[in-house]
Amino acid sequence: PVEPSGAAERLVVVRHPDVQQPSWQRYYLAPSYRTLTDGEPYALQVLSEILGGGSTGRLYRALVVERRVAVSAGTGYSGNDYDETRFVVYGAPADGTDPEALGAAIEAEIDRLLAEGITDKELADAKRGLVTAAVYARDSVGGPARALGSALTAGRTIAGVEAWPDRIAAVTAEDVLHAARLVLRPDRSVTGYLLPAERAAELTQ
């Protein structure tokens, strides 16, 4: 079944006494390769690399390295779903940082990107990193088979897979900003907290 289009932001709180490291996540409903319009999945992959691509991503640099309010922060997106998929943003707060404060800091970084867009260097670095990672992923016996199998089960074609590097290379800064504004909307999101039992009780009061 297809996930219905969201009409309001949703909140999920999971609490357990064994939780040692709180975390914050937000899932945005997003198009897949099969449901794409105007190439959004390719732009979303570039967006994910810029916003949350490991230690060079905006979130990690701003929240882990510079402000030290998080021990991890990043994003995730894959267009290989048959119907709509998810754009995920996540973080784990550093000691002394409330999960809600970390969520607000992540939201501020997203808002800054939506307002200011991305730089030419960020765009070039992200596209180069994505294509390089794809080349390395094929440097094995099983890698190409897994990539093709995953794509074909999601309704893509071999030609579409082979054209992926060219589609990534064609993404512009305007494409990334358009996709970000289309997808990173609170009314199409679910926000989740994983918390110790006593901390979760405070959040839901």
Q: Could you give phi then psi for residue 176, rounded to 5 degrees? A: -65, -45
Q: Which of 86-90, 117-121, 123-127, 145-149 has the lowest mean pLDDT?
A: 145-149
Mean pLDDT, the chain, whole residue set: 88
| pTM of the complete model | 0.86
Q: What is the CATH number of domain 21-203?
A: 3.30.830.10
* % of the chain with per-residue pLDDT over 70: 89
For 151-175, what is the mean pLDDT? 82
Q: How far is CA 19 from CA 99, 131, 176, 192, 194, in A?
A: 13, 37, 36, 14, 8
Give pLDDT, residue 202.
57
Tell whether the model's pLDDT for residue 72 goes beyond 90.
Answer: yes
For 142-171, what is the mean pLDDT? 78
| Chain mean position to CA 64 | 17
The token pair at 175 is 């494409």
Quickly list H helices, the chain. Answer: 40-52, 58-59, 99-116, 120-137, 142-153, 158-162, 164-169, 173-183, 197-203
78-107 confidence digits (pLDDT tens): 887 777 899 999 999 999 999 999 999 999
In the chain, domain spans: 21-203
* DSSP state at residue 15: E
The most confident of 18-22, 144-148, 157-161, by mean pLDDT: 18-22
**Rounded Cα gap, residues 89 and 198, in angstroms:** 25
Residues 6+ apart with CB under 8 A from 118: 50, 173, 176, 177
pLDDT-derived band at 185, boundaries 50, 70, 90: very high
186-201 confidence digits (pLDDT tens): 999 999 999 998 754 5
* % of the chain with per-residue pLDDT over 90: 63
- Look up residue 65 and give its amino acid: V
37-66 confidence digits (pLDDT tens): 667 899 999 999 999 988 999 999 999 999
Residue of 169 and 37 predicted with greater confidence: 169
Spatial contact of 138 and 144, defined as CB atoms under 8 Å apart: yes
- Look up residue 106 and give its amino acid: I
Residues 6+ apart with CB under 8 A from 51: 57, 58, 59, 75, 89, 109, 110, 113
